[in-house]
Structure 1
Amino acid sequence: MTHPSNTESSLPDSQASTELVVDVGPIAHGGHFVARHEGRVIFVRHAIPGEKVRIRLTDSGEASRFWRADVVEVLEASPDRTHHFWSLADSIAAWRKGGPPVGGAELGHVTLQRQRQLKSEVLAEQLKRLAGVELHVEVEAARGGDPVPDDGDRLGESGLGWRTRASFAVTPEGRLGMHAHRSDVLIPVHDMPLALPAINELRLWDVDLRGISRVEVAAPSNGSRPLILLAPEPGTDAKRLNWILAQLPHDSSVASFDPVRGEVLQLRGRTWVQESAAGHEYRVTGEGFWQIHKDAPEALVGAVTGFLHGGGYLGPGSTVADLYAGAGLFTAPLADAVGVTGSVLSVEGSPGTSRDARKNLHGEPHVEIVQGKVERVLRQRPRTFDSLVIDPPRAGAGKAVVSQLIDSGPRAIAYVSCDPASFARDLGYFRNGGWRLESLRAFDLYPHTHHLETVALLVPAA
């Protein structure tokens, strides 16, 4: 049962900020929790199932199928609620000061153990609803995280200091900022607790960034030189860029970039960072994709190769493909596994990232690097593979690509996914095509957020 607040008992209109009291139900995909008011679904952020909370509607309307809201007061708290580590992302503290919280740490008020349970519930619900598979998988903790004494979490970790990449907007006053969830509201920030210390130590929030619209930072977990990417606003001249450059730490590389064209121009140092994983070194240019969590590359490579080796789908002489290959995170260990008697096809759509892959794999003659969309490459170069590794973007592979993958006749596919919904949808396509889910692991590579990573082993059902 839900109740209107004491101050406002009517349904909201487009101009009013309405508060309601609701009982919080299960978690939904996307970091929301389901509540109801007079039969209407409300997706509530910053809650925990079983709580009674006061919420502030942030997106509502009579014609809307559902509303959105933030928690502003907890009336009956869950035992899994804990002190939020970041005041700017704490919904209750932020709204008390008159505005929304920053996005990106929407589960920071939940103990880490409960966060992983909630993510397991989301994964199970998506698998059942979209793929017709009933399966519960425990989400595995990331290996990183500084100890937090007496925090009540049996895992004894903070879930902080893991991001090797961070993205920021810039306020009109030239200060580093982040947006509220689904909002144009831009909030100045003075720290980023989820980021590696190397990112915070740059102290970019002390720099006057007027003339810049966006800032991207990459700080490799191996301690190599960080890269600061600046996206200049139209009309920002070289004099202004040079003035900003002089304010940035001298031990960092700095480049300007065009998010639309993907162009990266050197301002100081390198336009790329040097990453390390699975016994290999990787060059990653500009905004080129790399796993964000410092422990993610090792964890995911281990899961993928473990599945393929364990099933006898990968070994000397094997023919394999790494699709959506990025800079070659999986390609390099696959090349090690198949040896010079085998072959690896690496396919990546981004021209810049594909160039990185060529540099990273230049000493491997049995590796073929192809730049292009996966569906086009598979259509133009039909081949048979012993096994495939796919790591598609958040939207997933899609029905057409799944059909092409099945037609290529592999004995197994290792599917790496950062979105349980798109993965479950694609799994449904595989099942309709006569394949089955052999094994599945889930990783909490995004602590304090709703995101999780999965690695699946898919094989023909027959």
Structure 2
Amino acid sequence: MKATWEQRLIEVEVGAVAHGGHCVARHEGRVVFVRHALPGERVVVRITEDSGGSFCRGDAVEVLVASDDRVQQPCPFAGPGLCGGCDWQHATPQAQLELKAAVVAEQLRRLAGLERRVVVEPLPGGAEDWRTRMRLAVDAEGRAGFRKHRSHEVVPVDHCVIAVPDALDDVVDRTWPAGAELVVTRDAGGQVHLTEVGPPERRRGRQVPGPARRRRGSGTATELAAGRAWNLRADGFWQVHPAAADTFAKVVAEWADCRPGQRAWDLYGGVGLFASVLAEQVGATGSVAVVEYSTRAVQDGRRNLSDLPQVSWYAGKTEEVLRTPEFTDLPPDVVVLDPPRKGAGRAVVTEIARSRPERVVYVACDPAALARDIASFAQRGYDLAQLRAFDAFPMTHHVECVALLEPAR
């Protein structure tokens, strides 16, 4: 068995940023993925993970030569060995945008073979006080907090600098059952909803969440986007940045550009945010088919869009629903998709390309998954026509992209 470097201190020159909230360095012929550093810095790294292979992971615990982009992180719970939620608190807001742009460009180049200049656009409101949805864990002493990076260990907190004001006031100042998880949502009306999920249980040799024990608030969040009020389960999916849903809906509307009477697909459609703008474009003579795996989201969506009879709902796995006669026999003019972090995948891309839509609008929360799917679309005759990237998750490494794909000319 190879000796590992875990807990070893090494001195390195920090190289380029990489996907995942770290930078790349090299030491004694090995790659070191370094968190809490910035490109161009010289730092002392404590190795935190090492399986003995070609790479290892570590935290910058001392900065010997600092980047001009380095700032004092505003949160006392951010840093080596602490909360794993924020990756770039030690970088200026402009540097964070540039780091994320570099990651998106690198993923497109490496995975899709595309050279493209990327600009990450900030959303209104700044880098703090933006997160409306959070999941906290409870430690053995009943204190609520967030988990360390790549760990189940809980870091208790008394506030969070990226959380919207007041969201955690009644969460971090009390004791909870050890091992529970807390889902907190503050909706557009300022109401805070909390769902307490019991400690994990073991079933057939694996851990699963325990039953929901308690809810605070009505359990139904009200959100505003695309000119509508949305009522949905407080612990259901919605964009976590207050400006994100409306921003993405506007880009989708611009690039989808459906005409009256056309047919559109809204895949991974959630509660129907994008379906609402597509329905407005296709009008009463057109149709919008929403595919969503979560039956709860479909129920919420049907209620929210009950005034739009041109919208039809299909609950199930996207790749399976797209193979049914309702979809194979009625090809769309435009497709919008907003898949989970893993991306759409080859099977879904194949079904979309087979239907030969005029345009595909792809909303992505992971640049690597987006780049892989863009490469799959290219193999099936669709090229990347436009791309916008948004900093919908300030202080973290996450970035949201919207891509327009069109048939290759």
TM-score > 0.5 by shorter chain: yes
Identify which of 222, 230, 251 aligns with 1:282: 230
Give the deviation of 1:456 after TM superposition: 0.5
Is it true that 1:110 corresponds to 2:91 in the alignment?
yes
The reply to whether residue 204 of structure 1 matches residue 171 of structure 2 is yes
Distance 1:173 1:262, change over 3 A: closer
2:267 is aligned, of 323, 344, 354, to 323
CA offsets per residue over residues 331-353 of structure 1, 9 Å max, x none?
Answer: 11211121111111111001111
* d(CA) in 1 for partners of 2:154, 2:190: 31
Inter-partner Cα distance in structure 2 for 1:210 and 1:47: 36
2:190 equivalent to 1:229: no
Give how far 1:233 is off: 2.5
Shift of residue 260, structure 1, vs aligned partner: 5.2
- Distance apart, 1:51 and its partner CA: 0.3
Deviation string for 1:259-302 (max 9, x for gaps)?
95898677454222111111111122143111111110111111
Contact 1:289–1:326, Cα closer than 8 Å, also in 2: yes
Q: Which moved more, 1:451-460 or 1:224-233?
A: 224-233
| Structure 1 residues not aligned, in runs of 5+ | 1-11, 92-99, 146-158, 236-258
SS at match of 2:270: coil
Change (3 A) 1:25 1:405: same
Call closer, same or farther: CA 1:67–1:426 in 2, change over 3 Å.
same
Counting only pairs closer than 5 Å after superposition, residues 24-423 of structure 1 correspond to structure 2 as 24-61=14-51, 63-91=52-80, 100-145=81-126, 159-200=127-168, 202-211=169-178, 213-220=180-187, 222-233=188-199, 267=215, 269-309=217-257, 314-380=258-324, 381=326, 382=328, 383-423=330-370
Q: Give the 3 Å change call, closer, same or farther, for CA 260–338 of structure 1 in structure 2.
A: farther
One-letter identity of the residue aligned with 2:249: V
- Percent identity between the two aligned chains: 43
C-alpha separation in 2, matches of 1:445 and 1:357: 23
Task: Go from structure 1 to structure 2 and tell me whether the alpha carbon gap of 1:285 and 1:58 turns closer, same or farther (over 3 Å shift).
Answer: same
The TM-score, its normalising length taken from structure 2, stands at: 0.94
What is the rounded CA distance, in whole Å, between the counterparts of 2:211 and 2:67 in structure 1? 48
Moved more, 82-91 or 449-458: 82-91
Deviation at 1:185, TM superposition (A): 2.3
| Alignment-mate amino acid for residue 387 of structure 1 | V
C-alpha contact 1:52 1:74 (8 A) present in aligned 2: yes
- Most deviating of 124-133 and 300-309: 300-309
Q: Secondary structure at the match of 2:405?
A: strand
Counterpart of 2:8 (choices 18, 25, 29) is 18
Judged with a 3 Å threshold, the aligned counterparts in structure 2 of structure 1 residues 352 and 363 are, in CA distance, closer, same or farther, namely same
Task: Measure, in 1, the Cα distance between the counterparts of 2:213 and 2:298.
Answer: 18
Check the 8 A contact 2:385/2:406 in 1, yes or no.
Answer: yes
* Cα separation, 1, equivalents of 2:209 and 2:232: 17
| Counterpart in the other structure of 2:204 | none
How many residues align? The count is: 400
Superposition deviation, residue 180 in structure 1: 0.8
User: Residue type of the partner of 2:368?
Assistant: A
Query: RMSD of the alignment, in Å?
Result: 1.9
Asked whether the equivalents of residues 142 and 444 of structure 1 are also in contact (C-alpha less than 8 Å), the reply is yes
Q: How many angstroms apart in 1 are the aligned matches of 2:349 and 2:341?
A: 15
TM-superposed deviation, 1:224: 4.1
CA distance 1:318–1:266, change in 2 (3 Å): farther
Closer, same or farther in 2 for the Cα pair 1:306/1:459, shift >3 Å?
same
Give the letter aligned to residue 226 of structure 1. V
**Partner SS for 2:289:** strand
Change (3 A) 1:215 1:261: closer
**Separation in structure 2 between the aligned mates of residue 376 and residue 263 of structure 1, nearest angstrom:** 30
Of the two, which has the highest radius of gyration?
1
Write out per-residue CA displacement over residues 151-209 of structure 1, whole angstroms, 9 at most, x where no aligned residue: xxxxxxxx001111011000111110111101232211110110110313x33111110
Letter in 2 for 1:219: R
In structure 1, what is the Cα distance between the partners aligned to 2:248 and 2:354? 26
SS of aligned partner of 1:140: strand
Tell me if the contact between 1:412 and 1:458 (Cα under 8 Å) persists in the aligned partners: yes
CA gap of 1:261–1:59, structure 2 versus 1, over 3 A, is closer
Deviations 1:134-158 (A, max 9, x none): 101110011122xxxxxxxxxxxxx
2:10 counterpart SS class: strand
- Tell whether the 8 Å contact from 2:196 to 2:214 is kept in structure 1 after alignment: no
Per-residue deviation, 1:90: 2.4
Distance of 2:404 and 2:342 partners within structure 1:
19
Q: Partner letter of residue 348 of structure 1?
A: E
Q: Which residue of 2 aligns with 1:152?
A: none
Matches of 1:369 and 1:353, distance apart in 2: 10
Partner amino acid, structure 1, of 2:79: D
Q: Distance in 1 between matches of 2:18 and 2:6?
A: 26
- Identify if the C-alpha distance between structure 1 residues 34 and 211 changes in structure 2 by more than 3 Å, giving closer, same or farther: closer
Cα distance, 1:211 vs structure 2: 5.0
In 1, Cα distance between equivalents of 2:4 and 2:45: 16
- Checking the alignment, whether the CA contact within 8 Å between 1:212 and 1:230 is kept in structure 2 is no
Structure-2 change in CA distance of 1:128 and 1:267 (3 Å):
closer
How far is the alpha carbon of 1:15 from its aligned partner? 8.5
Letter in 1 for 2:252: V
**TM-score normalised by length of structure 1:** 0.83
- Residue 370 of structure 1 deviates from its aligned partner by 1.1
Work out the CA distance in 2 between the residues paired with 1:224 and 1:138.
32
